[in-house]
Amino acid sequence: MGFLHWTLNLAALLLWAMWRAQTSQGSSGTARRSTSRQSHLGWRMGRWAFLLGLLAVLLILRAVFYQQAIPHTGWEARLSLAQFHPGDEARLSLVFPWASLELQLAFSIASFVQWLVPFGFCLVLVLAIQPATSEARLWNQRLAAQFGWLHRLPVWLLALLILALAVAAQWGLAWWFRRLDVLPAPTSDAKLVRIGCATALTGLRPVAWLAMAVLGLHLLSTYIYFGGFAFWKNIEVAGTQLLRPLRWLPLRWNRIDFAPAAGLLLAYGLTLLLTPERMNRIFHLVWR
């Protein structure tokens, strides 16, 4: 059941990504054929409604399936939320009893959101370091399709927007969990805000892992020649973009550039920092 749950979350995420790409491509063609801006807007809203409806059906059917299957498998629907409050555990593990369909629905939606939020953060990172090469043109178009017209915004503003949406989504889920008596009582409104902020921030950890992967490949391609393949050209450009904030530091000695190694260490440090256990101490100091 655990593997099936992971697979269903991945399927829902792929559905979101593939549908967004097709929507963007279709909307550009429709914009050229459309004679009315109002009809074009209606077409876009219809595509969004169909995507959200399809995801809703998938998540609802999954909740019904879990309610029927859990008693026969012994699997436990469990979800971890990060919460930061003096005297509380850094990670709050919630159990969703199978007997309640609404609880299984809440679990189904929340577990998908915990996949969708890091996915959005990772897309913002890739958008920031995307190589402006001819080999990556198709990839860049598909990447821009995930954000639609929002990809024209500055990357820092887009990152703040995604973070705000993530905090709002996690806060809304925490409020729902309190109403369902899943959260331990008493849970104040202020504590719900802390839970929403903390859980959203822990979604940034996959971004650090992605940065480590790009920098690791960039460091490897710096000392080993893999030929003129487009993949390695894009990795070289993306790694250089990722290391741009460190270029003002004296990290070059003769012909040796220590910037990739420093970037790797920094990204690894972020993976350690963005754990609930360590962030709990920070929130305890700055948010009492």
Report percent pLDDT > 90 for the chain: 11
Residues 136/84, Cβ–Cβ less than 8 Å: no
Task: Give the closest residue to 123 by CA, choosing from 154, 162, 149.
Answer: 162
Question: Which of the pair, 46 or 65, is modelled with greater confidence?
Answer: 65
Confidence of residue 190 (pLDDT cuts 50, 70, 90): confident
Confidence of residue 213 (pLDDT cuts 50, 70, 90): very high
209, with CB counted inside 10 A (0-12, 13-18, 19+), is: middle
pLDDT (0 to 100) of residue 31: 44
pLDDT tens, residue by residue, 233-288: 888 888 888 888 888 888 777 777 788 888 889 999 988 888 766 766 676 676 65
pLDDT (0 to 100) of residue 34: 44
Whole-prediction pTM? 0.80
Q: What phi and psi values does residue 78 have, to the nearest 5 degrees?
A: -130, 140
pLDDT (0 to 100) of residue 86: 47
The helix (run of H) or strand (run of E) holding residue 238 is helix 230-242
The structural domains of the chain, with segments of one domain joined by +, span: 2-286
Confidence of residue 148 (pLDDT cuts 50, 70, 90): confident
Asked whether the predicted pLDDT for residue 149 surpasses 80, the reply is: no
Asked whether the predicted pLDDT for residue 28 surpasses 60, the reply is: no
Q: What average pLDDT is seen over the chain?
A: 79
pLDDT (0 to 100) of residue 30: 43
